[in-house]
Chain A
Amino acid sequence: SQKIEQNSEALNIQEGKTATLTCNYTNYSPAYLQWYRQDPGRGPVFLLLIRENEKEKRKERLKVTFDTTLKQSLFHITASQPADSATYLCALNEDTGFQKLVFGTGTRLLVSP
């Protein structure tokens, strides 16, 4: 069956360290993968999209990698801050033409000062 898996356990790190979150998928062949941030009581906010032919994508302190052989994406936040504490969701599109996002269950990140 098709699955997108993220660490269900919360990730606790200290301020200033690099947080690394994992997204693994099975029985999908996505052309691209997205990462979102969700704060409690709010809708997800789009962060980054990476295409299958891009090994790595960066945006400020964020870095995403996409390994289609391993069927895995890694999401890194460098120099993490308490304000980065949130749930991070990966998502891929089931439809090649139009929007039909399938989300992972998300990983909660807690950055302590």
Chain B
Amino acid sequence: KAGVTQTPRYLIKTRGQQVTLSCSPISGHRSVSWYQQTPGQGLQFLFEYFSETQRNKGNFPGRFSGRQFSNSRSEMNVSTLELGDSALYLCASSLVGGALDTQYFGPGTRLTVL
């Protein structure tokens, strides 16, 4: 089975722009979670989607949003980019997103905001 894929792998944007990141889960997985990883804050939960519905959300401003499609693929969007949004964005998929489900992480998208 192919693993979790994320595109693009690297992205450079300037302040004020917006960005869309994409995540394709493992085939058969219906839950997708997104995380932000920075050297200062570590890995922080952004949100989790299941069957096109957001079930959980972390403490991030409304500039961070996401969605999930009927084929379980997910996108996250960050609008009005700030320098502090520079980070590695990781998505993870699991079968149904239950608390005991194993999460499988993708390689991440490295976003640099100039």
For B50-62 the 0/1 string (1 means CB < 8 A from A) is: 1000011010000
Q: With a CB–CB cut-off of 8 A, which chain B residues contact A46? A: 102-104
Q: With a CB–CB cut-off of 8 A, which chain A residues contact B4? A: 43
Binds A, one of B14-22, B40-48, B75-83: B40-48
B42 touches A98 (CB 8 A): no
B99 touches A96 (CB 8 A): yes
B45 touches A101 (CB 8 A): yes
Secondary structure call for the B interface = strand
B48 touches A43 (CB 8 A): no
Query: Which residue of chain A has the shortest Cβ distance to B93 in the bound complex?
Result: A99
B interface, CB within 8 angstroms of A = 4, 31, 33, 35, 42-45, 48, 50, 55-56, 58, 90, 92, 94, 97-108
Partner of A101, one of B33, B98, B104: B33
A41–B106 Cα distance when bound, in Å, is 11
Q: How far apart are A24's CB and chain B's nearest CB, in angstroms?
A: 15
Secondary structure call for the A interface = loop
| Number of A-B pairs, beta carbon distance below 8 Å | 69
Q: With a CB–CB cut-off of 8 A, which chain A residues contact B108? A: 41-43
Q: With a CB–CB cut-off of 8 A, which chain A residues contact B35? A: 101, 103
Name which of B42, B50, B58 has the most chain A CB atoms within 10 A of its CB.
Answer: B42
Partner of A99, one of B90, B98, B106, B107: B98
8 Å CB interface, A61-99 against B: 89, 91, 93-99
A43–B90 Cα distance when bound, in Å, is 7
B56 touches A104 (CB 8 A): no
A10–B92 Cα distance when bound, in Å, is 26
A110–B79 Cα distance when bound, in Å, is 39
Query: Which residue of chain A has the shortest Cβ distance to B56 in the bound complex?
Result: A100
B55 touches A41 (CB 8 A): no
Take A46-B102, A49-B100 as given contacts and tell me if A102 and B45 are in contact as well, using a CB distance cutoff of 8 Å.
Answer: yes
B90 touches A104 (CB 8 A): no
Answer yes or no: A16 CB below 8 A from chain B CBs: no
A55–B12 Cα distance when bound, in Å, is 46
Q: How far apart are B53's CB and chain A's nearest CB, in angstroms?
A: 11
